[in-house]
Amino acid sequence: MGEQKNGAMQHLLRASVEIFREFAYGGSKAAARPRVGVALAGGFARGIAHIGVLRVFREAKVPVDVVAGTSVGGLIGAGYCAGTSLEKMQQIAGETKFTDFGRWSPSWLGLATNQRLEVFLSKMTSAKSFEELQTPLAIAATDVMEGLAVYYTTGLIGPALRASCAYPGLFVPIQYEGRTLVDGFLTAAVPIEGTLLLGADLVIAVYLEAGNLAKPRTFTDILSRSFNIAQKHADFEWRQQADVIIEPDVSAFAWDDFTQTNQMIRAGEEAAIRALPEIRAALDAKSKPAKS
């Protein structure tokens, strides 16, 4: 059954390449295409689905000029923008466990620290600064004192990424450049603004809605579900800003389950394939006639 499903996926992927072939090799000569930005949402382990989305983009020749990421979206974005292969990222994801990036250290400010995240990032890339990346990247964090989104596009990647992944209550906030920072999802669940800051004309948003219906097991489960409920009632703005929205079905996966990497990647692939006609239409609509 699994082999049949994989075969069907490959067939769909081959067909999807044809959707973009004319644009990639023919249409681009007749028109100047828009600058494409991809905004990757957070979602802890569910963020592995982003790899599947990016894989379909690669195979279908969907152009990606800039990337913005929140939380795990920032991590996947950093690897992608550094030129790390999606296959390597999939391998790393399949071997990941919580202690690779978090260390339990209960305090008044959080249950754990995420200092190990910078070491974890080094598994994907040796790049230390945004300036070393091959593709421009913006990482979103939240200034907990000001209640505002903060986007990092220059300087060190590590501190910005740690801040973006500092889930309130679970991880201790990050002190960086005079700010007290926590997870970017509070103010930039899907970091559309980050792609616009980098000059995107067309934005593809990838949103990972949490929907696991299992009974909460821990304090962090309760906290996560509480934030998810709040997000559902506050996502109208970014939806209006996005040109295309891709929503992989990751509702069956727990926030901390890294054991189902292949299944989550497949969910990302399936959602991206379904969105290809809409992406093509958006690209055509925003392409400018070439100057004679």
Question: Rounded to two decimals, what is the model's pTM?
Answer: 0.87
- Over the chain (292 residues), the average pLDDT of each successive run of 10 is 57 59 47 93 93 97 97 97 97 90 90 92 96 98 95 98 93 96 93 97 92 61 61 70 95 84 96 97 87 56
Gap between the Cα atoms of 34 and 227, Å rounded: 34
User: pLDDT tens-digit profile of 220-263?
Assistant: 666 656 566 556 555 667 888 999 999 999 988 887 788 899 99
170-to-109, 115, 130, 142, 145 alpha-carbon distances in Å: 8, 13, 27, 15, 18
Single-letter amino acid code for the residue at 203: V
pLDDT for 101 equals: 87
pLDDT for 71 equals: 95
End-to-end CA distance of the chain: 54
pLDDT for 270 equals: 97
pLDDT for 226 equals: 59
Q: Given the DSSP bridges, would you call strands 288-289 and 110-113 parallel, antiparallel or unpaired?
A: unpaired
User: pLDDT tens-digit profile of 133-172?
Assistant: 999 999 999 999 999 999 999 999 999 999 999 998 889 9
pLDDT for 288 equals: 77
Measured CA angle at 43 (ends 57, 213), to 5 deg: 115
Gap between the Cα atoms of 242 and 268, Å rounded: 18
pLDDT for 238 equals: 85
Q: Which residue spans within the chain are E strands per DSSP? A: 31-32, 36-40, 66-70, 103-104, 110-113, 137-143, 148-152, 169-171, 174-176, 179-183, 202-206, 244-246, 288-289
Single-letter amino acid code for the residue at 26: G
